Structure formats: C-alpha cells, structure tokens
Amino acid sequence: MFIAFVGNAFAEVPAGDYLSGRPILRIEYQQSNIFDTSDPSTSSWPYRLANALHVTSREAFIRSMILFSEGEPWDPVIAAESARILRSLDFLNPVFIEARPESEGVVVSIRTHDQWTLQLGAKFGIQGSRKNYSVKFEEENFLGWGRGITLEYRKDHERSTWTYIYSDPNLFGSRWRGRVLFADASDGHREEVLAERPFFSLATPKAWGGEWKNWRQIEYLYGDGNQVAGGHRDFRLLRLWWGTRLPAPEKTVRRLSAGFHLDDRKFSDWYRESSPAPFPTPDNVKISGPRLDFEQSEDRYEVLSGFRGWSAQEDIAFGNTLRAGVTFSHPEFGGDIPRLVFEGSWAYRVQKNGWLLMGDIWTSGRLDDGSAANVITGFQAAASQLGPRGWQLRLLVEDSIDLDRENQLTLGADRGLRGWDPDIFDGTGRAVFNLQWRTLLKEEFLNLFSIGIVLFADAGKTWGARVGPGTDGIRVDAGVGLLADMTHIGVSNVLRLDVALPDDGGGVTIIVTSSALF
C-alpha cells in the first residue's frame, strides 16, 4: 500500500541520471488493481469484489499515452513528463517510471496503480441552506481504455438536468482527444463538442482543434442567498485554433496560437422574483473575429504529497506561468460592434522550508468601442505547509469595472466564507481571507481513505452591491471540519465536511463537498 508524506518535492527520476542516452531495450508494464489482495488487510471479500468489478488499465492504453518507445534513447525528463501525463488522467495514482541498466541499454519499468473509476449511486451536497443531489453512472476508464462515459441526473436550487458525456483522451489510438456532451434541463439544454490535437507534451511542436457549445438556460442573480432576478440566456461558442511552439531558452516553453473565436450571448424575459415588475435585461453581446493566444511556462515540475489531500501524488508547476489572449471582434467578422476582448494570467509557485508558496494574478474583460466593459481583475496569495499537519492560508481579492448586468462577484460558503450561505453577499468586488490548521488523524482507514481534522477561520468583504445586500464591513466566521482523502477513488476526490459559526450568531452553516478549498 502506497502512502507518503513529504516536506520537500521529489522527482520520479534523478536529475543527473547516468543512464541517459542509452537505448531502451524493452518496456515492462506493471498495472496494479485498486487493492492489493495479497495484503491480509485488503484480502477480504469486499476488496476482492471491488477488484473483480474493475477493469485494470490496459497496457496498450498506457503505451499510447507515454512519450517514448523501445529503441529510443532513455531520457529521464521525458519519462517524468510521461508520468505526469498518466497522473493527469485522474485514475492512475501513484505512477512510477524507472530505468535499470541491461547490456548496453536500459530496461524501463512503468508501474501504475488504478483508482476506482466506476461511480454508480447517489451524491448529496450541502452548502448552508443550499442543497443538491445527483444520481450518476460514470465510468472514467471504460474497459481499461481511458474513455469516459457519464449518465447523470442532477437536481439543485436552479434546475434539474439529465447529462450525457463521452470523452476519449486518444481517439483511435492517436494524439487526438474528443468530448461530446448533451444535457437536457428543466429550463433549457446544452450541447458541446470538442476535438483537438493538443500540445500533449512540453516538446510538442504543433497543435490544432475546434470546440462548439450551444446553451439555453435561465440565469439567476442572488441577494441574501436567494434568487432575486433571472431570465433566459442563449449562448453559442465556436473556437478554431492552430498553435506552434516558439524558440525559447532551455527549460522554458513558449507557445503561440491563432484562430477564430465566436461568442454570441442573447438575453430575454428577465424578471424580478419578488415583484411583477420586469428586471433590466442584460445587453446582448456578439464577439466574432480572429484570436491570438500566448503561453510561457517553465519545465520545473515536481511531485508533491500532503497539499490538497493527504497522500495522493500531485504535479506542481514551479516557477512562472504566463498566459495572455486577445480577440479582435468587428462587424466585418460578424461581431455586433468593434470590441477588443482580452484575458491574461500569471502564476508563480515555489517551495521553501516545507512550505508551498503560491501567487496568482488574473484579468479579463473587453474594450467596447474603446470603453472598458466587464473587466474583472484579481490576485491570490496562498501558502501551505506540506505533510500530515500544518497551516494553510489564502488571501483572494477581485474587483471589476462596468460589470455586465448578468454577472456578480458574490461571497459565501461557495467562495470561502464558510459561515454563510452561498451567494449571500452581493458585490462587484470581493475579498476573502482563509486561515486553517489541519492534522491527519488516521491514514488508510479501512484501506479506503485517509482522514484528518481542520480548524479554520475566515474573513470576507464585498463592495459595490447592485441587486442584494453587501457585507456592510468585514464578516468573519470560525469552525471545524473533516477532510478525507479518497486515496482509491481518484486523485481529485477529497471529501470536506465543514461546520462554521458566523459572526452574527445566526446558527451553524454546514458544508459537504468534494472540492478542495486550496
């Protein structure tokens, strides 16, 4: 059974591997099922039944995802990236790729551990007074080929929805990826199609693809945690792109993409929930024109444990990551008015003395006939002690200029202010600070999950409220929670149960969710 806590990052292979350059004589694959039934603690019938119901990832599928083959020279950097690609599938963790000398070459060993990928049953979530449930059949690794199939019924405070999804990370054994989604909701529908040959590795020279989305649903605005206004939104998106890798210094990756971007949003029949009077309908927006995207990152990935969960391997990109994009929309290209649509982000990750330090800055918006519109700019600074216990803290601030009428920057349990219902505080700007201390209580409980306790305090503020009350100053809360790392049910699956007390004495707020705060 694998579990490890580290205060420092570790790599799958040594940086100065003396075997580099030797030819790969053969590749040996070792795929482990969910549980090791040779271990007495996981040899009873429930664990054997789980293994029997699960199809282990096929050797041919793993071979199709890695970046090297027999006869090529051994490169530990490419091996480490191949391990990251396998872990990014979210159902293989941990993954180890190692080489040993043999004759004049090397033999490569690839060891993968499958996670449970079949979800058949019901889910229930709580965030304050807001509840949701779903009944789902989902298989993320259908027949061991990495293909995803989802059939789900979900009901929440806004709508009930039947959703059907099919995805394939390597169509017909190629580097092409595809995804098809159809959703039939009580207030509309969604259709999505994606086909792309992406930058599947840092060294990939070219990429291209296309995406289509067509949505119709009712959008809502919130005040005091309740729906105060809403109306129909029709949304169409078309993206076509072609990208290339640019020359860059060693350990730096630069990419430039060009394409066409259509984003058409139409609004109608907006109303107030508590009044027969109509609500001002948001303005229609049609963006259509050429688009450019630039990305720069550093090839400084490390593998960590003890960050979001307790034991799963997580790939962290250290150093700087920069992304920027711009769309030139004009009536001659099919747009409504001349617009310049922009977005950009910068992220920085570094590890010091057992701490993971993170910084993020982002912005997005438009220039409509030269005037700023729907501009949202924010930053986040966070720090986390790695390992089985320690502190985590985060400060997030966002502000806006001329925010579109259908948008809000709300604050509540869904945004980190855990003592209050989701969307309870309205705003066109917000800030939230989170501080928590956590410790592992039991690792591999029943060989299913590791569980720990979290003590936390939050503080937050909104400003520029338009449709509901703001925070009227800084609001605070404090509470206690449980964090379970579902070590055999996918790397991204954590379970949080938080109980928080707000500063107004209004009673506890309970949160049950499978998403991590940090």
Give the DSSP per-residue string, 141-210.
EETTTTEEEEEEEEE-SS-EEEEEEEEESSGGGSS-EEEEEEEEETTEEEEEEEEEE---STT--EEEEE
Kindly list the distances between the CA atom of residue 87 and the CA atoms of 62, 111, 164, 479, 517, in Å, as whole numbers in the listed order.
11, 12, 25, 33, 21
| Res 515: pLDDT | 78
**Range with the lowest mean pLDDT among 18-32, 111-125, 344-358, 460-474?**
111-125
Position 3 scores a pLDDT of 35
What pLDDT was estimated at residue 487?
62
Which residues are within 8 A (CB) of 188 and not within 5 positions of it... i.e. 6 or more apart?
159, 215, 216, 217, 218, 232
Segment among 116-120, 144-148, 388-392, 439-443 with least mean pLDDT: 116-120
The pLDDT value recorded for residue 11 is 38
Tokens standing for residue 513: 């969710």
394/152 Cα distance (integer angstroms): 34
340 within 8 A of 365, measured Cβ to Cβ: no
318 vs 444: which has the higher pLDDT: 318
Q: C-alpha 121: how far from its chain's center?
A: 23
What local confidence, expressed as pLDDT, does residue 295 receive? 98
Give the CATH number of domain 198-513; options: 2.40.160, 2.60.40, 1.10.246, 1.10.3470.
2.40.160
- Helices and strands in the chain: count of H runs, count of E runs: 3, 26
pLDDT mean over 157-164? 92
Predicted local confidence at residue 185, as pLDDT? 95
Task: Name which residue leads in pLDDT, 125 or 379.
Answer: 379
Q: To the nearest whole number, what is the mean pLDDT of the chain?
A: 89
Quick one: what percent of the chain has pLDDT higher than 70?
A: 93
pLDDT at 158: 86
Higher-pLDDT residue of 305 and 401 is 401
Contact status, residue 436 vs residue 456, Cβ threshold 8 Å? yes
Among residues 56, 43, 46, 39, the alpha carbon closest in space to that of 1 is found at 39
In the CATH scheme, what is the code of domain 24-114?
Answer: 3.10.20.310
Section 44-56 average pLDDT:
86
**Is 115 in contact with 34 (CB distance < 8 Å)?**
yes
Which letter does DSSP use for residue 515 in this model? S
Q: Note the pLDDT tens digit of each residue in 457-510.
A: 999 999 999 999 999 999 999 999 999 887 666 544 678 899 999 998 778 888
Question: According to DSSP H, which parts of 66-143 are helical?
Answer: 76-87
Tens-place pLDDT, residues 404-447: 999 999 999 889 999 998 889 999 999 999 999 999 998 877 77
Kindly give the residue spans of alpha helices, DSSP state H, lying in 55-163.
59-65, 76-87
- Is-contact 15 462, C-beta < 8 A? no
pLDDT of residue 224: 85
Residue 493 confidence (pLDDT)? 66
The three-class DSSP label of residue 79 is helix
pLDDT at 1 exceeding the cut of 80: no
Give pLDDT tens digits for 375-388.
999 999 999 999 89
pLDDT band (50, 70, 90) for residue 120: low
What torsion do the CA atoms of 252, 258, 260, 261 make, to the nearest 10 degrees?
30
* pLDDT tens digits, one per residue of 73-93: 999 999 999 999 999 888 888
- Residue 513 sits at φ, ψ, to 5 deg, of -150, 160
Domain residue extents for the chain: 24-114, 198-513
Q: Tell me the pLDDT band of 130, cut-offs 50, 70 and 90.
A: low
Question: At 216, is the pLDDT very low, low, confident or very high (cuts 50, 70, 90)?
Answer: very high
Terminal-residue alpha carbon distance, the chain: 26
Residue 352 has pLDDT above 50, yes or no: yes
Band of residue 278 on the pLDDT scale cut at 50, 70, 90: confident
H runs (alpha helix) in 174-322:
none
Tokens of 425: 């505080």
